[in-house]
Structure 1
């Protein structure tokens, strides 16, 4: 009877810690080991030391030093006041200036629009001001400064109505007011697209509805805002 062939020596498996049992030091060590494989595999190097003071005996290691200043990045805007800043259409800023000089927009109408624009809830285009709150806000200096003028709620109500007719504002339900976010928007540059999509869905994607047209009934035609074209290509509808 022939003897059985010698069995092949089985490779001894290295004990592996169960998932989730690694300590923070071991995780850091694994990261350092991975980096070492890329930048120090063929050169003489030191043995990596774990934060706990233990040394690893596996493979060549290098010391890695990472400096982090911890300083917060500087912002790109430095605006007066504590309520942030808004993105504003340069075309609209000049358009409003022309309307004011021509007397086609009243001081009260411009004041109401600017007050609402400055009170948007960030990233929504919505203000929760009631018309009484707008009135009170605009009259803030009346009692403190002798001779300061004031407005009334009927005047504010009339101004809001006109601004809605022009496509600068629209009612958003529950006493809220929505700003035409293509003219003035509080938030980062990526958020208006989401708001515009919500507005479009609320108006059945009607290209004639808010916020696509901006103008005054006193001017023949309205400015038609085509969001697919650059600002310089926007024309006047006859």
Structure 2
């Protein structure tokens, strides 16, 4: 091999004396391998399946560089998910939206209405208990219906984004390093559960508003002038 230029070439000289023809393959018919077996340098601490996956993805490229590139892609994905979570958590709660609107239109909302009661749940915090809705003006009902409908659509979009993010992370776990993604999946699922519960509460509140509006429309039909 080329390493013999640093020696006296005794290996090649001995082979030539034994009948070896330079440039030919070894073996009885000279069909043996001429080029040396290539050596692959794999990242340390990875499984054999991961090594085979990197070799397939490398396409002749240095597998260490491929591993670094995949790690960068995973880090970018995790940063993007973190930004999405921060964006979702920073959005104003529907309770604040409704209460702020009511405070601006008709005065301060009592502090007791900022907490859910044991009987009506989140709907009381939204001022959509049946007794309260019966006292609301049509304008207030329309405002509540609009705000709740907008929040429902926003939450549905957020839930869909979280489901997609969770599925992408699970795919990374199946093909990569689960230790770096398990915690992210747990955070996403916790946030997803919270958003789904909020969506359920908001839909219930929206149904109550629409039910009161429908009741008033039916009563108008039977009003005798």
TM normalised by structure 1 equals: 0.27
Larger Rg: 2
More strand by share: 1
